[in-house]
């Protein structure tokens, strides 16, 4: 690639001398250009400028001054724009809920016109200056006048309560003072003017266990290994992603046979979820008077509703110790197997799709999957031998 030649600067003295030499009758311009190592057209242009009076000693300085003035004007313009942007950001900084309606935007501009120009605020809020001035000259409507009068009453009530009242109590206090207004109107005025009840929420962690767990002990700690079916049932809950949201699976297992005898799947985690799983287990396998139902200390299993169901079927309640998840290791093992063998390979779009896969896997787990804890027998096989 050919390197670009550097531009040569010629001052006024050089140009004037070159043009003066060409004015000699016995000297040609082309010879002067060749002797000075310049292009003949350049020399011709200099002669033209000298005839027109444009070739001036101060020409270069004038151009430099013009460039400097233009640069200064540009800098001043940029500084002005920067100040405008800073003013706009300073007005809007830290404020939530920038006005969306034109009337609200006009009110906002009127409140902050001293901190920034009208044009800047209008541009920032997407309204016109003409619209703002027309709104301001129009005057306030009757509704706005009434709102301002009501706002004064709201402030008085709020201050009298030492800032403890929210809009429901402020509304009731106004009604008791024979000031009739809507509850939503009071809420709107308080919200628009930043008036809210002061409230400190204090959380105290209880060192003692919840009363629902007081009578629940782990009955499996000192118990001998099971010798038959329906002696110990275990239950737990796990979560499964369905269309990017969590759904919950509750299961009941016979600890001796490892058979899944009841399960329920739903979007909500509640006592109803674990109750449905238990009802399925009871219908398929009738418990005895000594059957133990063991679970972790989940709130669903500790709920009064679920406890009543357990009592109605004569099941003995057992719960894992706090912080000892391995007390319910049988269910934890099943959930690990379920997820690593099926769940993690699927992306469920609907609850129905996930339910179909769970039904198929439970059937496979009970009737076809060889269980290492059962000497590589299936749970159904172990159940038939224990019958």
Please name which of 321, 325, 337, 320 lies closest in space to residue 373, comparing C-alpha atoms: 337
Q: What pLDDT is recorded for position 200? A: 46
- Residues comprising the chain, all counted: 387
Buried b (16+ CB within 10 A) or exposed e, 271-280: bebbbbbbeb
Q: Please state, rounded to an integer, the average pLDDT across all residues of the chain.
A: 80
Band of pLDDT at residue 80, cut at 50, 70 and 90: confident
User: Could you tell me how far CA 236 lies from the centroid of its own chain?
Assistant: 32
Q: What is the pLDDT of residues 112-142, one digit of tens each?
A: 777 777 887 787 777 888 887 887 787 667 8
Tokens of 335: 């959930």
Mean pLDDT throughout 52-58?
Answer: 62
For 220, phi then psi, to 5°, come to -95, -10
Q: What pLDDT is recorded for position 5? A: 55
Q: What is the pLDDT of residues 162-192, one digit of tens each?
A: 676 788 888 888 888 888 888 899 998 888 8
pLDDT over 70 for what percent of the chain? 82
Q: What pLDDT is recorded for position 21? A: 80
For tokens 């034109």, the residue is 102
Q: Is the pLDDT of residue 143 over 90?
A: no
Give the single-character DSSP code of 197. -
Q: Is the pLDDT of residue 301 over 60?
A: yes
Please name which of 294, 290, 178 lies closest in space to residue 230, comparing C-alpha atoms: 290
Q: Is the pLDDT of residue 110 over 60?
A: yes
Please name which of 229, 211, 234 lies closest in space to residue 319, comparing C-alpha atoms: 234
Q: What pLDDT is recorded for position 6? A: 56
| Cα angle: 278, vertex 283, 289; to 5 degrees | 75
Q: What pLDDT is recorded for position 248? A: 94
Burial class, 117, CB count within 10 angstroms (exposed 0-12 / middle 13-18 / buried 19+): middle
Between 210 and 335, where is the model more confident? 335
Q: What pLDDT is recorded for position 305? A: 85
Q: What pLDDT is recorded for position 202? A: 47
Q: Is the pLDDT of residue 247 over 80?
A: yes
Band of pLDDT at residue 378, cut at 50, 70 and 90: confident
Mean pLDDT throughout 19-25?
Answer: 79
CA distances from 311 to 220, 231, 274, 291, 308 (A): 19, 16, 15, 11, 5
Predicted structure pTM score? 0.47
Q: Positive or negative CA dihedral for 208, 210, 212, 217?
A: negative
Mean pLDDT throughout 75-79?
Answer: 85
CA distance 186 to 346: 51
Among the ranges given (96-110, 198-212, 278-292), the one the predictor scored with the smallest mean pLDDT: 198-212
Between 194 and 357, where is the model more confident? 357
Band of pLDDT at residue 3, cut at 50, 70 and 90: low
């Amino acid at each position: 690639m050919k390197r670009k030649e550097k531009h040569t600067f010629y001052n006024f003295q050089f140009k004037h001398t070159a043009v003066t030499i060409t004015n000699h009758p016995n000297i040609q311009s082309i010879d002067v250009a060749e002797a000075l190592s310049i292009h003949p057209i350049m020399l011709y242009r200099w002669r033209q400028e000298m005839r027109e009076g444009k070739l001036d000693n101060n020409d270069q300085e004038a151009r430099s001054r013009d460039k400097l003035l233009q640069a200064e004007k540009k800098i001043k313009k940029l500084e002005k724009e920067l100040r405008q942007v800073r003013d706009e950001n300073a007005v809007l900084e830290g404020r939530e809920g920038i006005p969306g309606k034109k009337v609200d935007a006009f009110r906002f501009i009127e409140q902050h016109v001293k901190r920034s120009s009208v044009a800047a605020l209008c541009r920032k809020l997407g309204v016109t200056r003409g619209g703002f001035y027309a709104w301001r000259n129009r005057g306030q409507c009757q509704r706005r006048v009434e709102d301002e009068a009501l706002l004064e009453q709201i402030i008085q009530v709020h201050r009298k309560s030492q800032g403890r009242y929210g809009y429901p109590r402020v509304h009731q206090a106004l009604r008791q003072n024979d000031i009739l207004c809507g509850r939503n109107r009071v809420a709107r005025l308080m919200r628009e003017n930043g008036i809210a009840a002061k409230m400190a929420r204090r959380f105290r962690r209880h060192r003692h266990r919840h009363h629902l767990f007081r009578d629940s002990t782990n009955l499996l700690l000192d118990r001998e290994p099971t010798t038959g079916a329906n002696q110990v049932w275990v239950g737990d809950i796990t979560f499964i992603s369905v269309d990017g949201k969590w759904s919950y699976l509750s299961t009941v297992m016979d600890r001796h046979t490892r058979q899944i005898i009841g399960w329920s799947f739903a979007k909500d985690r509640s006592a109803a979820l674990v109750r449905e799983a238990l009802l399925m287990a009871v219908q398929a396998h009738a418990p005895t008077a000594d059957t133990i139902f063991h679970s972790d200390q989940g709130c669903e299993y500790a709920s009064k509703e679920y406890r009543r169901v357990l009592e109605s079927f004569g099941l003995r309640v057992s719960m894992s110790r706090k912080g000892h998840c391995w007390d319910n290791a049988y269910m934890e093992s099943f959930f690990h197997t379920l997820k690593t063998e099926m769940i993690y390979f699927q992306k469920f779009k609907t609850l129905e799709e996930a339910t179909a896969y769970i039904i198929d896997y439970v059937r496979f787990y009970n009737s076809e999957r060889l269980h290492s804890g059962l000497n590589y027998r299936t749970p159904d096989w172990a159940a038939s031998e224990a019958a």
